[in-house]
Structure 1
Amino acid sequence: MDYHQLADQIKLWAKQLGFDKVGICDVDLSEHEAELQRWLDAGYHGDMDWMARHGMLRARPDELLPGTIRVISARMNYLPPQAQFASNLDDPSQAYISRYALGRDYHKLVRNQLKKLGEKIEQAVGQLGYRPFVDSAPILERPLAQKAGLGWSGKHSLILDKDAGSWFFLGELLVDIPLPVDTPASNECGKCQACMTSCPTGAITEEGVVDARRCISYLTIEFAGVIPLEFRQAMGNRIYGCDDCQLVCPWNRFSDVTEQTDFHRRDIFNDPDLVTLFEWDEETFLRNMQGSAIRRIGHEQWQRNLIVAMGNAPYSGRIIATLESHQGRSELLDTHIEWALAQQYQQLPQTNNKHQRLIRIIQKGLPRDA
């Protein structure tokens, strides 16, 4: 078997399957284990207990699939046409949704294409041990991507490529054949710290290190509890994820729009009015989010995020009426509704005693029954 020729063929097949770049690396991630342990020990993973539970398994692909000696790392662009970043973020009456989630959930699509790639390789070599991964197992996908030459880990911890920026999904195919490896990517961030200084909540604590507990993407997607007061105003109108660290990155000037129509904006998000999205009942939410990554956070968390955004919106009688009409339905939602109402009341030229009391409670972080 000419493995160099096979590697070239694999990259051609990957292109035909919709991947924008593919690289190959070995499975040695031992140099990242100490860094991973420090991150876990600092508690930066927040409520994502599965990260600590799997421990160093994330840095040992050959333990996930015994016999693995190579990882085929692949990326697929997702930036939709007419992304409308600035206009959407600048209109606080509309919900901002991270651009990766505007279309179809990428997990199944990318995994299916990786599976097809594995099948093509198996047909060529006769017998192959392989397994595709797309956020489906504990694996350090970004260090693997850098080692495979797909890009370098930026100061925001995301993979960057000088020809494509960072608007892409990653996936891995573990294999048990000795393919030639690619040259790791070198870091091209230089002295730039735009991502660090622009983070709304200061979640990037040092170069390449993100405290998930402060990250808006974590707070709106992974975290199901009461959003800490200190982060609510910084969330603005971001109801699912946050793209700020990517938006300011100079390398993203070179990003290509995705060729995958599945990642294009859904029609339902063409006019993402906060109140309209909030008033979806659970059945409507599940129906509208069918096949979307957003569906997994559930209806209550969706509404919680929208309540915070409504609190950050300009004064609106419609918002106040909507929030007041939903009080008493959920303890989690009530906590955020009271805060959002106080935010709205503060914008009134005059406030009555009820409004002043609510404002005092929120500003001082007092218990709700104070």
Structure 2
Amino acid sequence: MTTRTIIDISILQTVPPSNLNRDDTGSPKSAVYGGVPRARVSSQAWKRPTREQFRTLLDADSLGIRTKRVAELLAERALKRRPEVDEAAAEALAADVFKAGGIKLEAPRARKNAESKTDQHPAEETTYLLFLGSRQYDRLADLLLEALDTDDPKAAVAAQKKAIKSILKEDNAVDVGLFGRMVADTTDLNIDAASQVAHAISVHRVDPEADYFTAVDDVKQGSEDESDSGAAMIGTVEFNSATLYRYANVDANRLRDNLGDIDATAKAVAAFITAFATSIPNGKINTFAHDTLPDLVLISVRDTQPVNLVGAFEKPVTGTDRVLEATERLVAREREIDAAYDTTPVTSWVVRVGDATAAAEQLAPAVSLKTAAAAVREVVEQRLAEAEAEKSN
């Protein structure tokens, strides 16, 4: 039986008045859980800042780019290597490269206020966001330039169909391996995500509030006409404040399959833990400055299955010290689940601040996030090496 390595991340985080994640009316997203309304932040809203945080933790060439403008981006990579190449010809051949790989492209609408000829007739685009790694673009750019050196570049690209397909499948970026990729045109390019991110919800009941605001015209304010010196704009913005329970997991074995390398996988897991814990959605951030860090981060390595501990808060926290009560409930839930289903972690780490989270040390001694991430990296690397040894025997 192959050694499984599942990393669970449970977080308690208090955010002040804020609007992290809005719905189509501009109101903070919400959900009913345990029969009462809760604050909610969608998983997608937290995945985006997590990916952006990767840029400070990992090399740019190990990360992915998600865009419709794939031909334009590929042509730019080629032009950086060889600036003398005609831009229009590079973009046209770049589109041929993706088509040879089974990706459908079509001409987009001309861009508004287009000044250059390229903007008036932009390169063909995919009809959906295509998630590819930076190294894959570099390899495709090399192939494109080799084709340009032939008498018939278009035919040269068509002859490299198998190689293009191989590039699109191999050497996946870290964030592609973690979050997956779906390609409607050619399903053999699909990648199953190695991570799962839950919608964050408040551990207690939350009712939205509204802030009435005004904006004063600086020029009118100093005028002598007092009848015209009031607010130039008025409005309202909805917000809430909450202690959130956040959860994510990473299947290290699947991530290893996606990335093809143990060291890269262990490094990616450590980066994910750090980025997920320290990132925050930036909705209305200039209005609310809600830059907080978690009160508690519980990281567990399991060899059974992922375990979301949100059931600890099905009955909403009602006390005044929400972090204290939420921490105690989280610890109790962890122990009860493990006893009932034999899911006791192989090892755990606790990162915490404040006296209210002291109960979490019943699960593991408190360490810094940097220490925890480094320790998880070592454990993942060791366990994946063991799993490979089991397969070879």
TM-score, normalised relative to structure 2: 0.24
More strand by share: 2
TM-score, normalised relative to structure 1: 0.25
Q: Max radius of gyration: which structure?
A: 2
